[in-house]
Structure 1
Amino acid sequence: MYRTAIAKQYSMAMWCLPETGELQACISLQPNMVVPKPDLEQSPFGFLFCPFAPQGPHQNLFIKADLFYTAETGKLTAAPDVPVQEYESFRAALKVPHPNSWHISGPAFLHAYQQEDCFTSGVAKAVQAIRAGEMEKVVLSRDYLEQLPSDFSPVAALEAMQQAYPRVFVSLVSIPGVGTWMGASPEILVSVNEEKVFHTVALAGTQPAVAGESVASAIWRQKEIEEQAMVERYILKCFKTLRLRDYTEVGPRTIIAGNLMHLRTDFKVDLKEVDFPTLASDMLALLHPTSAVCGLPKEPALQFILENEGFDRSYYSGFLGPVNSATGTHLYVNLRCMELLEEEAILYAGAGITAESNPQKEWQETQHKMQTMRRILAQF
């Protein structure tokens, strides 16, 4: 199914929600659909794929679920309004073998890559700016070009991620002219489940997870505690902007995501009891890009990133996920991810910079975060 979609130049997404173990996929039989401003409540069933910078060169894209697959039934289902001719052509093409390939955004030399000295000097500059009162926090990221194994397969890699990281959102998105992205994200941006419960999280602070060690024994430095508190305060500020008072807050608590531990606070709103039908869309507009991937205050942090990071984040630290599926809408921040090129993968990772940040420790944090995808590549 995946190879047929790629061969016919269609957009497709495959994903598995945390703790479900159920692989799902959708394919659009139409050209790329651009969504200037996502309207989650009115959207048809499909998959959103949106960039980091709202006003940048990359567009919000929507993969409409003309075809939908779930591993639970093993069936490919067509939407009621599917283009009939394209659907019949796709079904016929399923019977023909297709090569193992994926959509790519361009050759490796078209991308800029961050070296260690550039990243650490950027962190030092950010610490100076924070101490001077220009902002409270900024998230700086970097990318790295890794050779793809000769026998690499995106679908096999997705299944490996599903097995290795069952507690996070794993995804594979491939769009003609845009490229192919894979990731294992621990961070919910906004979701509304089938029970009509809205959910978002404050996730920040990072340390390596030690095999066999309980989360109860995690010790957090003041830097990580304050970083996570900043994200919490930003979510509460968004609630206040919307004049929303009825919510539950649980945390912060330590969670394990892949090879890392984080601090996480969950915020939930029962929309059956709170009359706020557009809460998901309204919070999405206020939150993105979140303080966990951008900084605080948002405007000076974003400006600092664009002027000092030295590469185009593209869809890294944007958001993605299914919209109006049978299990609801579930949008995640595009973290712990990689972009597939023809023979290489671009790995992405970032770190939250505060007044107490040490440039070398922040570099090490990005190294730990890149291990999430390196472990998958190492299986080939």
Structure 2
Amino acid sequence: MQPDFVINSVRTSQPTALDYWETARTLGFPSALWRLPNQHDKHLIVSFEKTLPRVSVDLEELPAGFAISPFDNLDTGTDSPARTLFMRADIHAIFAQNKSVQQRVTTVSEDDARQFRKALATTAAQPAAARPAPTRPTPLPDPEAQERYVQNVAKAVAAMQRGELRKVVLSRTKRVAFDDVPNAVALFDKLCTTYPTAFVSAVYLPETDQIWISATPERLVSNSASGIFQTVSLAGTQSAYEPDGTPKRPSEAMWSQKEIEEQALVSRYIIECFKRIRLREYTEEGPKTIIAGNLMHLSTFYSVDTQAVRYPQLGTVMLRLLHPTSAVCGMPRDAAFSLIKRHETHDREFYAGFLGPINIDNRDLSEAPYPDPEDAPSSSLFVHIRCMKLEGTVATLYAGAGLTEDSVPEREWQETEMKCQTLLNVINEVG
């Protein structure tokens, strides 16, 4: 494989992120657009492999690219089938806050690169009026949705009260329809503005003709260039606003015993994973209240200096131990996974899986000089929540609630409604 090289550095009169995105879709090339939490630069990669390989994620071995995994992916790295889709970064474009664009090509196929550049120039030359405009969606009715979900929650609570498991996360869907195919990049841009602390992404999968858009607050694993590993325990949910619309102060948030215990279960599982691999040197910060858009969560942050503990493979090992986390599945994991399969009537697909860039230089070019270039995460994988699937003019939103034996079914329904609003608010604003 050829080394990275910069083929242009241009201004906004040249192709935009929307141009790259539409070019990839026209050619049928998989693509991923993302922005890391608390950063400004937007990254877009295009893969020339129209059928994406299924891999068992190894953060130390994979080339630069983007991974997206389904929820149903109990990856042991040995006898389990590889189900994570890997998008090799044949084209990597970075769109900085100062409007400059930097593009790198890393590919063995110069013919594909030439084809893409030619199509990109054609797309960029089209008048803006010819682009698809976002439209305000209409909810698709599902009159039995609430009753169905509340009944399933009640069954799960009864199972926990019998001692069959300690926690389970049950999800549901909500569908809306647009008058025309929505502009995914416009939705992405609005999510970036609305949720600056989230990992925001849009992923195009030509095999299924799906676009997945998300603004997730939950980091699964990350490895920085300097060897710092990070993961997060995030659970417990409440509105970030008072009933009168006044924003709540995180320091004054009141949490119920059920929510505190729910988050503690996620934290305990991370620590149990550390113990399983005999890792004792880690930093723990929290729990503390964080704001994620219109919601508040309890969160605890964990970090490890992999160079100091001489464990460079920690990110890969922890990924396989953590997914699916108890924040989206439950505890014990196998019992929760089985209950989800029995009671959920929809296929989660990529909801509650994980996604993110692997071995990509994610430094924010908007900041010069860099605070510390060595601390730029080279691999950052996030739990795929607060997401929706676009198929033509129909969007399917996913939301789940963490259940314990103290859960009240009607309240859990309201929690999923609040989570759906994370994306619905933005859709309605853009529409």
TM (norm. structure 1) is 0.94
CA 1:40/1:291 → structure 2, altered by over 3 Å: closer, same or farther? same
Deviation of residue 216 (structure 1)? 0.8
Residues 114 and 144 in structure 1, CA contact (< 8 A), matched pair in contact too: no
Residue matched to 1:267: 302
Q: CA 1:251 to 1:51, structure 2 compared with 1: closer, same or farther past 3 Å? A: same
Give the whole-Å Cα distance in 2 for the aligned partners of 1:304 and 1:202: 22
Quick one: structure 1 residues 71 and 142, their matched pair in 2 at CA, closer, same or farther if it must change by over 3 Å? same
- Which residue pairs with 1:92 in the alignment? 118
State the Cα distance separating 1:277 from its structure 2 match. Answer: 1.0
**Equivalent position to 2:384, from 334, 351, 355:** 334
Counterpart CA distance in 2 for 1:96 and 1:88 is 13
Could you say if the C-alpha distance between residues 161 and 58 of structure 1 is closer, same or farther in structure 2, counting changes exceeding 3 Å?
A: farther
1:344 offset after TM fit, Å?
A: 1.3
Q: Residues 148 and 343 of structure 1 are in contact (CA less than 8 Å); yes or no, is this contact kept in structure 2?
A: yes
Deviations for 1:179-210, whole angstroms, at most 9, x for unmatched residues? 11000000000001233210000000000001
CA apart distance, 1:149: 5.4
Q: Per-residue CA shift, 1:285-308, capped at 9, x if unaligned?
A: 000000000000000100000011
Does structure 1 retain, via aligned residues, the 8 Å contact 2:221–2:230? Answer: yes
In 2, the alpha carbon distance for the partners of 1:324 and 1:298 equals 29
How far apart, in 2, do the equivalents of 1:199 and 1:218 lie?
25
**Pairing partner for 1:22 from 31, 41, 51:** 41
Give how far 1:36 is off: 3.4
Q: In structure 2, do the counterparts of structure 1 residues 156 and 149 end up closer, same or farther at CA, with 3 Å as the change threshold? A: farther
Larger Rg belongs to: 2
Q: Counterparts in 2 of 1:177-256, with a 5 A limit?
A: 177-178=207-208, 179-210=210-241, 211-256=246-291
Q: 2:112 is matched by which residue type in structure 1? A: E
Is the 2:50–2:207 contact (alpha carbons within 8 Å) kept by the matching residues of 1? no
C-alpha displacement of 1:148: 2.5
Count of aligned pairs between the two proteins? 371
Question: Equivalences for 1:107-146 in 2 at 5 Å?
Answer: 115-146=145-176
Which ranges in structure 2 are unaligned for 5 or more consecutive residues?
A: 1-19, 75-79, 133-139, 363-377
8 Å CA contact 2:236, 2:260 repeated in 1: yes
CA distance in 1, matches of 2:277, 2:143: 39
Counterpart residue number, 2:56: 37
How is 1:299-314 mapped onto 2 (pairs within 5 angstroms)? 299-314=334-349
Is 1:370 the counterpart of 2:401? The answer is no
Query: Matched residues in 2 for 1:13 and 1:131: separation?
Result: 43
Q: CA deviation at 1:152?
A: 2.6
Residue segments in structure 1 that go unaligned for 5+ positions in a row: 102-108
Cα deviation per residue 1:21-60 (whole Å; 9 max; x = unaligned)?
A: 1111110012333233111111100000000011699931
Residue 3 in structure 1 maps to residue 34 in structure 2: no
1:236–1:346 CA distance, 2 compared to 1 (3 A): same
1:357 equivalenced with 2:407 (yes/no): yes
1:48 aligns with 2:78: no
What CA distance in whole angstroms lies between the structure 1 residues aligned with 2:221 and 2:131? 33
Distance across 2 between alignment mates of 1:269 and 1:184? 26
Question: What's the secondary structure of 1:124's corresponding residue?
Answer: helix
Secondary structure, counterpart of 1:367 in structure 2: helix
Query: Aligned with 1:290: secondary structure?
Result: coil
For 1:320, the equivalent position in structure 2 comes to 355
Let me know the Cα RMSD of the aligned residues: 2.0
Partner-residue secondary structure (3-state), 1:94: helix
C-alpha deviation, 1:213, in angstroms = 2.3
Number of the residue aligned with 1:176: 206
Q: Which residue of structure 2 aligns with residue 157 of structure 1?
A: 187
CA distance in 1, matches of 2:225, 2:55: 26
Question: Contact conserved, 2:238 with 2:415, CA < 8 A, in 1?
Answer: yes
Output one character per residue of 1:331-368: Cα deviation in whole Å (capped at 9) or x when no partner.
00000000001111000000001000000000000000
Relative distance call for 1:100 and 1:9 in structure 2 (3 A) is farther
8 Å CA contact 1:47, 1:321 repeated in 2: yes
> Which amino acid letter does the alignment assign opposite residue 364 of structure 1?
Q
Residue in 1 that maps onto 2:77: none
Aligned AA for 1:335?
I
Contact 2:56 2:83 in 1 (8 A): no
Q: Secondary structure at the match of 2:237?
A: strand
1:75 aligns with 2:102: yes
* Cα drift, residue 311 of structure 1: 0.8
2-side partners of 1:255 and 1:87: how far apart? 43
Aligned-partner Cα distance in 1 for 2:143–2:72: 18
Is the contact between residue 51 and residue 207 of structure 2 (CA under 8 Å) also seen in structure 1? no
Work out whether residues 227 and 307 of structure 2, in 8 Å CA contact, stay in contact via their aligned partners in 1.
yes
What amino acid maps onto 2:147 in structure 1? D
Residues 386, 420 of structure 2: 8 Å contact kept: yes
TM-score scaled to structure 2, two decimals? Answer: 0.83
Three-state SS of the structure 1 residue aligned to 2:312 is coil
2:177 aligned partner: 147
